[in-house]
Copies of this chain bind each other. A is one copy, B any other.
Amino acid sequence: MDSATLIAIASIVTAGLTIALGSIGPALGEGRAVATALSSLAQQPDASSTITRTLFVGLAMIESVAIYCFVISMILIFANPFWNNVIAQAAGK
């Protein structure tokens, strides 16, 4: 087991788990926000413009947390500095 293999395995497993675990919180949080938005719309249809605007701002904030996880996951697969270092070393050897 050389260094490149180990780093590749660690990157694969971590990339998957990062987005998998990181999706639980945002999905539940967005579900809750959307659910309350819908019951608020049913309760006060006149305030629909304020409610949907606030909802979209809130969803954007929550989605940003999921996107942090997605970004880290993508960096680990496609722009991993540790992997690049190992590949460069192997090439330069």
Contact = CB atoms under 8 A, between A and B. Distances in A.
Nearest to A35: B36
List the number of copies, as a whole number: 14
Interface in A6-27: 6-27
Contacts of A58: 30-31, 33-34, 37-38, 55, 59
Given A7-B9, A20-B22, A27-B25, A70 B68 contact: yes
Sort A-B residue pairs by CB-CB distance and give the 4 closest, nearest first: A29-B31, A34-B58, A25-B27, A40-B42
B68 A30 contact: no
Contacts of A64: 63
A26 B23 CA distance: 8
